[in-house]
Structure formats: structure tokens, C-alpha cells
Structure 1
Amino acid sequence: MHDRRSFMKLGAGVAAAGAMLPLTASAKCAEDDVSWDGEYEVVIIGSGFAGLAAAVEAKHKGAKDVVIFEKMGVYGGNSTLNAGQACFAGTDLQKKLGIKDSADLMVKDQLKSGRGVASESLLRHSAELGPYVYQMTKDCGCVYRDFIITTGGTSATRSHQVVERSGSGFIQPMLKTARKMGVETQIRHKFEHLIHDKKGRVIGVNIRKGYHFGFEDSGELINIKAKRGVIIATGGFGYNISLRQAQDPTLTAEVGCTNAKGATGDGLIEMLAAGATPVHLAHIQSGPWASPDEGGFGYGAGFSLYNFPHSIAIDRNTGQRFMNEIADRKTRADLELQRRDQNGNPNPALLIAPKHEAKNDPSMAKVLKYNVAWEFDSVEAIAKHFDVPLQPLKQQIADWNSYVDKGEDPQFGKRMNAGRGIKLTAPFIVQRLWPKVHYCQGGIQINTKAEVLAAKTGKPIPGLFAAGEVTGGIHGVSRLGGCSTPECLAFGVTAARSIMEA
């Protein structure tokens, strides 16, 4: 990219003939009026799953010039912070393990979780692309474990996990592959505005080069031309407390957040200003696997995700279970938030796992090392430490083990085959549970071509595509665990295909 020495300052606009045209998110101008500082076939904003998948696929489709702009000082955003899981249906690994699954079954599970407002067409598009993006990630160098994880709300075991057990296991190989293919990558480049021509087509972006998070006036403004179009993959707005609380007043600062601090909704806000259709902004999901004893996503999430199928979550006031530990996320998070003491203050539930099984996952060592979970040799020790009624807790554990024997959970209807016959016996590993804001189901509306739809017309905004958490309406009220990664990848691929066909 050719950099100009004289960059535009904050508040300046696009250099026009004899004048300065103020630049806003809805600015329209003749292409000849813009002073461009660089030019690419495909411009991608955001370096997470969706952005990297779009970059790799665009190169596969023959794009000569592709650039990724990332506002933070590191690549990956929220995508690096998850547990490295992705739900795919019909993979070779599932077949090897004797797991029967299909895109139809995956869509059915997601529609149920979406509570009537999820988009069947978008979910189906993502699910059917699953095997392709699964193979694409492997071709990029992502390495999956031989073990597939059971996530909440699913009727088949389908969550494939990379060996790093972190989103970085996707991000680093995909970033390396994109660069090898010739994709240019830039950090500390914050997307400010879209640039349109007089007919409304997106022809470029206004970028703040040299941006440092938290210093909104830092850096200098440049204009980048996008010959084919722009793909927005900037993620959600979970760390924008005022914005999320405006949509859902219950999501105060009392509820933590697993997101990277850069998840402030920049791309969403700019597309809305440009006339994109908002959808489901109030549907914001909290992760029921989070721990209040650490910041961000943490190690506790991985521990919970592994152990939920064969463990129990109990209310400290009663010593009894209060939920199906592998129900969908919203069901569990809502129930966990109801665990309060007599004064109405949070009284986080306890996840009690058997050490003989928990030790088979690397997360156990981490949660013990960092005081996110604790080991106890007896039920009595748990009850004393957490002030839990002893006899009800003993009875609950005995009842649970009888459910394991019978293969049926009469309390909450938990799918017992997910636990593989594992009983809850001493010693125990115990972690506290308290939800954290994790994912925004709401965003801007797209179609199955990843085209951004205009609120005024319902038609695509020419030259503008989006993928990942910045989009909305796909999952509905609640998103199933492990389903954002494949969706981000699938619609990143779709956006690249669409932009190359435009």
C-alpha cells in the first residue's frame, strides 16, 4: 500500500475540487472527488474468524489485492478468547466416532434455541457450509482434538475443538495462511466511516491509521478505495456497557463480560448510520459457564464446558440442582442469575465435578492453579466451605448417581448419554458459576449472500458485505454453544464469494 505523507486530520473530510467535503458515515461523493491513500480489490475490517475466512476465500477466488484492517494492537479480537470450539455436522471425525448428525438436525436444534425468531435460511446456509469451512481450517493448519464435545441444547455431539482449546488455534494458522497467500494485514487501523459514491454504492472506507485504543483522536485519517467492495467483520458490542444496557437494562456493570475490550460495536454503529437494518439488538447472551473468580473468558469456561455433561450445578441455599446443566445458554444463564442470598445479592451456584473425570481435561490444572476452582475430599468439606445444607447436598449427589445408573434424569430431563455413565464421587473439583455477557445475537441484517440490507428499501447496499457477530437475526433469542465460530467462518467465506462475483 502506498502511504501519503499528508494525512487528513480529525474533522477533515474528503478532498474535493476546490473544497473539503465533510465525511460522515452516509457521505456520498463522486469517485473523482476523493483523495485516495490506498486501493485494494477487497477491503476487510476486522481480523477475527469472519475476517480471516473472508481473506483466505477471497484469495482462493482469485482476488489480487486483499487487506485486513484491525483496530487493536493484536489480531483476532474476540475470536482468540473463546474455547476453540466449532459445531460442525457430518464431519469425518463424527463418522469415525460413530456420531450420527446432519445439517438438518443442527438447524433444528438452533431453531429451538432461537425461540421462534431465528433465521432458518441463514442457519441452514451456515450449517451446510460447515464441512467446507471445517476442511478449510484444517488446510490452513488448524489441528483438532480427536474428542468431540457435547454443548448445551444439542441433540448430537458436534463441537469440534482445536488442540489449543482456544480461538487462537484458529486465528494463528489462518492469519499465517492469509499472509502466505498475499493478504496485507494492518493493526492499529480503526474503521471510521464508509465512503459511498453518488449512487449509494460503497466504494471505500475512512480509516484512522496509528490508532491506539482508548485514545479516540489518535492517529491520522486516510481513505482506502475498495474496487470490489467492503466486508465488515468487526464483532459485537458486549464491552459497550451503555449500548448493551440500552438494549437490555438488566445487563449492568454487575454482569461481567468475556469479550475483548475492543468489542464496542464500531462497525455496527457505522453501518446503522449508513442506513443498514438493525435486527434483534436486545438479544444479548450471557455465558452460563463463566466464573466470578476471574476476569474475562478465563479458564473456568473451559472447565465448565468439559464437565457440565457429567456434573451437577447446585444452589448454595438449598444444596439442590436447579437446572439441566446442558440446556441452552439462555435457560442456564437466566437461572444462574436468580441465585441470590436473602438480601438479593449474587450467591453464585456451584458446579461440582468428579476429579476422576475432570483431570482428563487440561483445564482442571489451570482452574486449581489460579483459584478459580477448589478440590475437596468429601461432601462435608464442600458444605462447610460454601455454607451449603449438608443433608440435601448428600441426597442430591446420591440421587444424581442413581440417575446415571438408570440413564434418565427425572429432575430436569438432562440427556444422560452425554455423561457417558460417569458417577459423581470424591474427590470433587468445585467451581462457582455466574454468567458474563458473551455474545450479541443482534446486529445488522444480511441475506444468504452476506449482503447488508438497507432499512429503507430492504435491498442490499451495493458494495457492502458483513459477517460474524456484527450481523444479527441469525440465532434468535439464544445461540447454542460452539455455533458462532462456524457461522463466522461460513459467512466470511460467503462474503468473499459474493464480493468476487459482484
Structure 2
Amino acid sequence: MHDRRSFMKLGAGMAAGAMMPMVASAKCGDEPTQWDSEHEVIIIGSGFAGLAAAVEAMRKGAKDVVVFEKMGVYGGNSTLNAGQACFAGTELQKKLGIKDSAELMVKDQLKSGRGIASETLLRHSAELGPYIYQMTKDCGCVYRDHIITTGGTSATRSHQVVERSGSGFIRPMLDTARKMGVKTFIRHKFEHLIRDNSGRVIGIQVRKGYHFGHEESGELINVKAQRGVIIATGGFGYNINFRMAQDPTLTAEVGCTNAKGATGDGLIEMLAAGATPVHLAHIQSGPWASPDEGGFGYGAGFSLYNFPHSIAIDRNTGQRFMNEIADRKTRADLELQRRDKDGNPNPALLIAPKHEAQKDPSMHNVLKYNVAWEFDSVEAIANHFDVPLAPLKKQIDDWNGFVENGEDTQFGKRMDAGRGIKLTAPFIVQRLWPKVHYCQGGIQINTKAEVLAAKTGKPIPGLYAAGEVTGGIHGVSRLGGCSTPECMAFGVTAARSIMEA
């Protein structure tokens, strides 16, 4: 992953702001003696949501927008995904003959959400999809001509940037924001909200010169917000204690795809300020992850590309055990059940045909870093992974029959997603084992991206949020490729709301 992120190592120094008397009260009644700087719009976090908010705020006429990032590089967790975004009704879909709509996208997401997803917020995000798609293109993001089928969808809609990484969104958006005049600072950790006597958020306390892992590093400064504050600090996947409080099974032994800065700072501070928590226990694991590498890794991209035309095999039986493009929770739960006779993890095998897998650059990386292996025959796979040969051979023959007939009678997989591709030698095989990936829970917002107070159910004045720090949108399970556009949609929405306030 180092080569993916190397170009993100951008630095910036913060000029000292004008000193102004402060007459408002801060968190817990503390009264800072001065403001160290002042900006029209303050954005905390430089991922999808934060940068979308920055660009949109400038588009809406803002003159002074600042983005604070706590880590030493920009982009946060957003740089580490597969560079995919689900949009419905784009020109590229029409060009490829794909029929889709925001209505169908919402329907798919509600099904995945198991009855507790927010239809209102999902619809708001989906309907903004075409705007977000064009906005990212305006920023210089370049999409592939191929659209990917992700799990749980009724139509092929996951558009992917050519870098096949979230950095393909972050770098162009960051460059665009800066060209528009947005000020950006790394190593500035958000500590507290500052509110006046009426409860309105009027600024933040931030730790300037912060170095991750050294919590007392840097100096505390107070930054005033003329219009308001947008929190876009992401999820809490790497905060082991906090995530275990929500789901005790997610111990330190469970891997995580997130950047190490995903510790929930913004969420925890908004909860302290009285924001409404929602769905915190719904923490999603990625079913495309590999146990043979750390973090998000290269295996995720490989499996995401190959799931539609490949099969996942239980090593004990040599047979499939799931629909390889079902929603994430369905697949992750089934993968976790693959165990040996002693109850220890026995990761499933994703078997892909090399003739198709090689069309995606991820194949080169998984082979290079021993995340996947090439085999010339079914016998070689069975021997290497100790899989019963006869059932495995029959399973592959059965699968190829499904491809011919256009119907998966085993698990009901959408066969149009596989585009008639048969499973033939040579094979590329990767192990599968889920990792903590996304926090469906967070603080509650409305369709204006306003943060809602637990005590009153009304917006906390001057406070907005977008992205994974929010909760209740996706319900129990989020569909793949849907966080990127949702983060950007509510970043855009927060910027519009703050400029209209």
C-alpha cells in the first residue's frame, strides 16, 4: 500500500492567525482568552466528505474555507478503498446499455439495510449521484470505461477511477480545492467544539503540530467559524475499545482495513456535545479481504473484480457455500463460518479464471505479494489447499453449466454479471477472510446534513456532519461502492446548508 499513498505525502504550514478577543464560552464552560485564527467555513477531515464539502462551499460563494487533517497525509481512510462509486443513470451506464435509476439503487440499499436503513437519506444521496459524478469529473477524476458489479445490486453501477484506489478521487479533489482557494493543513487534530451561551457551535479547539500516537504533541489553538463547522472525520474502525463496546466480538485479533487514524475523534466529541447516536453496533466486515496481507490490501481489488465470474469454495467440502455477489453482511457471515474440525478459521478460496482476471491490474499485485497463487489445474488447487478433489471438479463443472444456461440453481447468483465467462485453467486463487471495514453507526443527521441533538431532536446550530461519522443511513449492511457517493453527497449537502444558513 505504500506506493499507493506515497504521492499523498503533502505538507503545509499554518500561518499564525490574527488575535481577537473571545466573548463566547467553550466546551464545558471553559473560556479561551482569545481566538488564534478565524475562517468562514471550517471542515474537519480531508476524505471524500471533507473535500466534496470544500469544493462545493467554494462553488457556492465561500471566500475562506479551511480543511484540517489530523494525520501527516491527506485523504484519510478514503484513499484506501478500491476507487469505486455507485451512481445510477449516468451516461456511461447508458453507453454500456445498463438500465438503472436512483429508485432501483435505493431499493437495493433498503433490502441490504434489513429494514432499518433511512429511505429518506438514501434517496437524497442517490438523487445527488449524477451531480457528484460530474463534479468529480470536473475536478479531474478519470473513470474507467468498465463498470463493476458489486454485491446485492440489481444493476451494474459501480463506476471506478483508473487508479483503482480512492486516491484517484482524493488527489484531483484536493488539487481542485486548493486551486479554488481552500486552505489545507495536516497534523491538526480536532479536540473540541466551542459553543456560545446559546449552544451554537462557533468554532473549534484544534491541536496544531500533532503527531499520531503522541496525543499531547503540538499546541492547542482556538479557531473561530463565521458560518459553522462541518465534521467529516470518518469512522472508528481502529478504535478497538470503542468498537468492542458496541460489538464485543471485534477484538484486537480481528483485522481492519481502515487507516490507523480512523479512531472516531469527531464522533466522540459530537456525542459529548449532545448529538444523537444511531446504529453504533452495526459494524461491517469486508467479505473480499485476504488474511494474507494487512489492511485493505491488494486482495480486495482482485476479489471485487472477480467475484461476478468466479466461485468461492469451502476447503472442507470443495463446494460453493454462497452467492459470491450477495450483500456484504450475507457473505461475511458465511465466510466466518468456514472452520476446520477444531473450530479454527479455515479461509475460503476464491477461484478465478486467469483469462479474465488478468484484465485487471490487481492480478499482478496479488501474485507479486503472495496474496494469491496461480495453478494450472484443478488437481493442483486441491493438492495445495487440501481440498477434496472430486467434489471440487464437479463444482467447477456445475458452475460452467450455470454459465451456459444463464441460471445459478445453487445460490441464485445474477449470471448476467459474469458476462458468460467460464471457469477454466489456469486459475488464480485467493483466500478470503473478512476484516472490519465500515461503521454503519454514527451521529444522526437530516437531509440538510445538520447534526441532531439527542435531547430535542432538533439541529445543533452551526454544526454539520457528513460521511462515515454519521449513522443510520445504510442500516445493518452497506452495499459495496455506496459509501463514496454518499460521503460526497452529504459533504456537498453540508456545504450548501452552511452557505444558506
Map 1:298-447 onto structure 2 (within 5 A). 298-447=297-446
Check whether the contact 1:70–1:187 (CA below 8 A) recurs between aligned residues: yes
Map 1:83-122 onto structure 2 (within 5 A). 83-122=82-121
Distance 1:80 1:293 in 2: 21
**SS state at 2:481 partner:** coil
**SS state at 1:430 partner:** strand
Distance 1:41 1:406 in 2: 61
Stretch deviating more after TM superposition (142-151 or 337-346):
337-346
Distance 2:220 2:429 in 1: 51
The residue aligned with 1:128 is: 127
After superposition, what is the alpha-carbon deviation per residue over 1:8-34, rounded to whole angstroms, capped at 9, x for unaligned?
Answer: xxxxxx9878xx97x54x5476xxx65
After superposition, what is the alpha-carbon deviation per residue over 1:121-164, rounded to whole angstroms, capped at 9, x for unaligned?
Answer: 00000000000010000000000000000000000000000000
Distance 1:38 1:236 in 2: 28
Check whether the contact 2:227–2:498 (CA below 8 A) recurs between aligned residues: yes
Check whether the contact 1:28–1:195 (CA below 8 A) recurs between aligned residues: no
- Judging changes above 3 Å, is the alpha-carbon distance between structure 1 residues 37 and 386 closer, same or farther for their aligned structure 2 residues? same
Distance 1:430 1:15 in 2: 64
**SS state at 2:35 partner:** coil
Check whether the contact 2:22–2:35 (CA below 8 A) recurs between aligned residues: no
**SS state at 2:146 partner:** strand
Check whether the contact 2:208–2:221 (CA below 8 A) recurs between aligned residues: yes
Letter in 1 for 2:403: V
Distance 2:149 2:182 in 1: 35
**SS state at 1:257 partner:** coil
Distance 1:180 1:4 in 2: 21
Check whether the contact 2:288–2:300 (CA below 8 A) recurs between aligned residues: yes
| Structure 1 residue 251, shift from structure 2 partner | 1.2
Distance 2:30 2:122 in 1: 34
Distance 1:63 1:252 in 2: 44
Check whether the contact 2:18–2:37 (CA below 8 A) recurs between aligned residues: no
Distance 2:236 2:316 in 1: 34
| Structure 1 residue 249, shift from structure 2 partner | 1.4
The residue aligned with 2:41 is: 42
The residue aligned with 2:16 is: 3
Distance 2:365 2:256 in 1: 20
Check whether the contact 2:86–2:158 (CA below 8 A) recurs between aligned residues: yes
The residue aligned with 2:7 is: none
Letter in 1 for 2:331: R
The residue aligned with 2:145 is: 146
Distance 1:488 1:324 in 2: 28
Letter in 1 for 2:168: G
- Judging changes above 3 Å, is the alpha-carbon distance between structure 1 residues 361 and 202 closer, same or farther for their aligned structure 2 residues? same
After superposition, what is the alpha-carbon deviation per residue over 1:29-87, rounded to whole angstroms, capped at 9, x for unaligned?
Answer: 6xxx6510110110000000000000000000000100000000000001000000000
| Structure 1 residue 2, shift from structure 2 partner | 5.1
Check whether the contact 1:278–1:443 (CA below 8 A) recurs between aligned residues: yes
The residue aligned with 2:477 is: 478
Check whether the contact 1:445–1:473 (CA below 8 A) recurs between aligned residues: yes
The residue aligned with 1:76 is: 75
The answer to whether the aligner puts 1:469 opposite 2:482 as a matched pair is no
Check whether the contact 1:240–1:263 (CA below 8 A) recurs between aligned residues: yes
The answer to whether the aligner puts 1:66 opposite 2:45 as a matched pair is no
Letter in 1 for 2:439: C
Letter in 1 for 2:165: S
What RMSD, in angstroms, separates the aligned Cα atoms of the two structures? Answer: 1.6
Check whether the contact 1:28–1:200 (CA below 8 A) recurs between aligned residues: no
The residue aligned with 1:10 is: none
Distance 2:134 2:488 in 1: 11
Stretch deviating more after TM superposition (337-346 or 474-483):
337-346
Distance 1:477 1:221 in 2: 38
| Structure 1 residue 253, shift from structure 2 partner | 2.0
| Structure 1 residue 5, shift from structure 2 partner | 11
Distance 2:313 2:179 in 1: 50
The residue aligned with 1:181 is: 180
Check whether the contact 1:150–1:309 (CA below 8 A) recurs between aligned residues: yes
After superposition, what is the alpha-carbon deviation per residue over 1:373-395, rounded to whole angstroms, capped at 9, x for unaligned?
Answer: 00000000000000001111111
Distance 1:53 1:418 in 2: 31
The residue aligned with 1:192 is: 191
The residue aligned with 1:450 is: 449
After superposition, what is the alpha-carbon deviation per residue over 1:202-245, rounded to whole angstroms, capped at 9, x for unaligned?
Answer: 00000000000000000000000000000000000001111111
Q: Percentage identity across aligned positions?
A: 86
Letter in 2 for 1:353: A
| Structure 1 residue 344, shift from structure 2 partner | 1.0
Letter in 2 for 1:3: A
**SS state at 1:321 partner:** coil
The residue aligned with 2:239 is: 240
The residue aligned with 1:294 is: 293
* Unmatched 5+ stretches in structure 1: 7-13
**SS state at 1:242 partner:** helix
**SS state at 1:313 partner:** strand
Check whether the contact 2:109–2:474 (CA below 8 A) recurs between aligned residues: yes
Distance 1:87 1:324 in 2: 20
Map 1:155-166 onto structure 2 (within 5 A). 155-166=154-165
Check whether the contact 2:141–2:169 (CA below 8 A) recurs between aligned residues: yes
- Judging changes above 3 Å, is the alpha-carbon distance between structure 1 residues 146 and 153 closer, same or farther for their aligned structure 2 residues? same
After superposition, what is the alpha-carbon deviation per residue over 1:305-333, rounded to whole angstroms, capped at 9, x for unaligned?
Answer: 00000000000011110000000000000
Q: How many equivalent residue pairs? A: 488
The answer to whether the aligner puts 1:171 opposite 2:170 as a matched pair is yes
Distance 1:83 1:482 in 2: 9
Name the TM-score, length of structure 2 as normaliser.
0.96
- Judging changes above 3 Å, is the alpha-carbon distance between structure 1 residues 382 and 447 closer, same or farther for their aligned structure 2 residues? same
The answer to whether the aligner puts 1:250 opposite 2:263 as a matched pair is no
Letter in 2 for 1:295: G
